[in-house]
Amino acid sequence: MTFDPRTLLDTPLPPGRPVASAQGGEGALWLSDGPAAPGLWARIRAEHARTGLWPLLLDSRDPDDSELRPWASGELSPEDMSSPEAHDPAGLLAQWWRDHTADEEGDEALPAGGRAAVTAPFGQRWPGLAPGRPAGADPGKEADEYAGFFGSLRPHLRLGLVAAASGADALAVAGWEGPVNYDNDTAKFSAVLRTWEQRFGARVVAVGFDTLHLSIATPPIREEDALLVAAEHFAFCPDNIWQNSLAQSLASYAERLVDSHAWDFWWD
């Protein structure tokens, strides 16, 4: 980072340091040396409009990993990322849907009918974007509550700070590569997250090696809308269904989205 976050924040920070990028550059992430204290995420988030610093609760695959991959190990590539503005989120989701629903060799483990059966009733037809909901709950307050809850379940989480306009942008700015097995330009995923921020009051709260956790202020409350949201989730992160023992079809996954104020993603 080109600045010291302590000079921008009124909230006192724990000991920490900037993390160099994988290419050896200055990087764009400030990382705390130890776990984030309860309530710290919310206090920093409340200052975001003034400071431009977005907080992230950072996890790794193994809580006992001293390198806290990819954060402390510097496995971040901000230089390789484009800008979210360069991408059309609706077009991205439609293309990813076509890619993920195309039957391929080795699909024998899927239900009869192949990948299209997993995504019934849409099959291989992209259904389009889900409608957003009118503003209701305060997205900031919802995010603060979720950060407190999530942090209580994982007290080892570190604090990350990124100079970004939103949590969606922070992922690309930091150079996170969680979905790299599907696409190595995180800015594309940030572009989709921007639309979720607008339509559903989504806020990026926590990020792991290949996981992402969002708070949702205005989730779908009707099953038909939840099914369209589920389609977006499948396009965005197909492993949420392919690798989900509790919801191995779009319909069963959608049931879990109705009035759910947290969305979680994992890329294999």
Q: What is the pLDDT of residue 42?
A: 98
Q: What is the pLDDT of residue 1?
A: 45
Whose tokens are 């100079």? That residue is 163
pLDDT category of residue 114 using cuts at 50, 70 and 90: low
Q: Are 51 and 42 in contact (CB under 8 A)?
A: no
Share of the chain above pLDDT 70, in %: 93
Q: What is the pLDDT of residue 66?
A: 73
Q: Quick one: average pLDDT of 26-46?
A: 94
Distance between CA atoms of residues 78 and 209, nearest Å: 15
Q: What is the pLDDT of residue 11?
A: 97
- Annotate 151-209 with three-state secondary structure: HHHCCCCEEEEEECCCHHHHHHHHCCCCCCCCCCCHHHHHHHHHHHHHHHCEEEEEECC
Distance between CA atoms of residues 42 and 148, nearest Å: 8
Assess whether pLDDT exceeds 60 at residue 110: no
Assess whether pLDDT exceeds 70 at residue 111: no
Number of H helices, E strands in the chain: 10, 7
Q: Which two tokens stand for residue 203?
A: 């806020």
Q: What is the pLDDT of residue 104?
A: 63
Distance between CA atoms of residues 181 and 155, nearest Å: 28
Whose tokens are 């009918």? That residue is 113
CA atoms within 13 A of residue 160's CA, in its CB half-sphere:
31
What mean pLDDT, rounded, does the chain reach?
Answer: 91
Question: pTM of this prediction?
Answer: 0.93
- Helix, strand, coil shares of the chain, percent, nearest 5, are 40, 15, 45
DSSP for 194-256, please give it: HHHHHHH-EEEEEE-SSEEEEEESS---SHHHHHHHHHHHHHH-THHHHT-SS--SHHHHHHT
Q: Quick one: average pLDDT of 166-180?
A: 97
Gap between the terminal Cα atoms of the chain: 30
Q: Are 241 and 249 in contact (CB under 8 A)?
A: yes
pLDDT category of residue 184 using cuts at 50, 70 and 90: very high
Q: What is the pLDDT of residue 74?
A: 84
Q: Are 31 and 160 in contact (CB under 8 A)?
A: yes
Handedness of CA 187, 107, 97, 58 (dihedral sign): negative
pLDDT digits (tens, 9 = 90+) for 128-150: 999 998 777 899 999 999 999 99
Q: Quick one: average pLDDT of 59-82?
A: 88
Q: What is the pLDDT of residue 27?
A: 75
Helix orientation angle between 223-236 and 89-101, rounded to the nearest 10 degrees: 80
8-state DSSP, 47? T
Write the CB contacts of 9 (distance below 8 Å, at least 6 apart in sequence). 44, 47, 51, 53
pLDDT category of residue 113 using cuts at 50, 70 and 90: low
Assess whether pLDDT exceeds 90 at residue 115: no
Q: What is the pLDDT of residue 61?
A: 81
Assess whether pLDDT exceeds 90 at residue 94: yes
pLDDT digits (tens, 9 = 90+) for 217-266: 999 999 999 999 999 999 999 999 988 766 678 999 999 999 999 999 99
Compute CA 267 distance to the chain's CA centroid, rounded to the nearest angstrom: 11
Residues in the chain: 268
